[in-house]
Amino acid sequence: MHADRNAARAGPYQAIPQSGQSWQGQGQPATAPHEYVRGGTTKLLTLFEPATGLLCAKGVTHAPNAVLRPWLVAELEQVLAKHERAGRCAELQPQLEAQLNRAAWEAWQADLTIKFTLPDRLPALRAPLIVDNLAGHKTPAFVLQILALGVMPLYTPLGGSWLNRAESIQRIIVRRALAGTHMQSSEQTLAALDATVRGWNRCPTPFVWGGKRLARRCERRLGGSGAVARRSLFQSQITH
């Protein structure tokens, strides 16, 4: 079993002038039109592996469950298959006795206030998945679908989205892609988000729990993720 994964969807982001710093040529300051024109909205589907920094994300114009679930399941299958080929999924082999395997699944539910019933037949546990506490993520069909992949869904508590580190990477990606820009259509916003994701994955940054931010949050009860990076986040490059 390898590192956990965090999934979330962010947005909507409107195709309007965005506040923030941006690079401008000398003598060519950033400008914005005087009229307010709606150019469409965009959302960002995200599956993030904090231990490696691997980011699977896709910009979409709408994100109902009918769009989110197939994308998430397909991405999970690809990521897990990649780890299996790399030899990091020993649990996929039929080596665990059924009793020990069930105990591994139940261990992830030990401290949960509300526990869903595990099916009688369980595959080898491959990874936990951190998801938002939304009703659409708790439907029996969706839960059984990802359980069949060997993935245990763990839900953030209400008001605890900071426990989902996909929220942290979304803020980084959106700031890099949109801050200080003037997108005039949802297509331009989608292209900027996708290019930024590709740039991030050229030099991904692993996230870990702890650090000064975690201590400050505990002392002052501040919001925000407690995840930190052990090296600079500015090493990634944006490519189209």
Flag whether 29 is in a domain. no
Given pLDDT bands bounded at 50, 70 and 90, which one contains residue 145? very high
The H-or-E segment that residue 43 falls in is: strand 41-49
131: left (phi over 0), alpha (psi -120 to 50) or beta: beta
Residue 226 has pLDDT above 80, yes or no: no
Residue 238 has pLDDT above 50, yes or no: no
Q: How many domains does the chain have?
A: 1
Over residues 101-117, the mean pLDDT reads 86
Flag whether 23 is in a domain. no
Question: 232: Cβ–Cβ under 8 A, 6 or more apart, which residues?
Answer: 205
Of residues 112 and 8, more confidently modeled: 112
Reported residue count of the chain is 240
Flag whether 22 is in a domain. no
Tell me, what CATH number does 142's domain have? 3.30.420.10
Flag whether 141 is in a domain. yes
Given pLDDT bands bounded at 50, 70 and 90, which one contains residue 167? confident
- pLDDT of res. 144: 92
**Which residues span the domain enclosing 197?**
5-16+38-235
Cα–Cα distance for residue pair 173/159, rounded to 1 Å: 22
Flag whether 188 is in a domain. yes
- pLDDT of res. 135: 82
Given pLDDT bands bounded at 50, 70 and 90, which one contains residue 1? very low
Over residues 181-196, the mean pLDDT reads 89
Flag whether 128 is in a domain. yes
DSSP code string of 165-226:
HHHHHHHHHHHHHHTT-B--SHHHHHHHHHHHHHHHHHS---EEE-SHHHHHHHHHT--S--
Mean of the per-residue pLDDT values of the chain: 78
Given pLDDT bands bounded at 50, 70 and 90, which one contains residue 181? confident
The string of pLDDT tens digits covering residues 19-72 is 666 666 777 766 666 666 667 888 999 999 988 888 999 999 988 888 889 999
- pLDDT of res. 191: 93
pTM higher than the cut 0.85: no
Flag whether 32 is in a domain. no
Flag whether 30 is in a domain. no
User: Of the segments 34-43, 131-140, 218-227, which one has the largest average pLDDT value?
Assistant: 131-140
- pLDDT of res. 146: 92
- pLDDT of res. 71: 92
Over residues 66-84, the mean pLDDT reads 89
Tokens of 111: 């401290």
The string of pLDDT tens digits covering residues 9-32 is 666 667 766 666 666 677 776 666
Residue with tokens 């005039």: 184
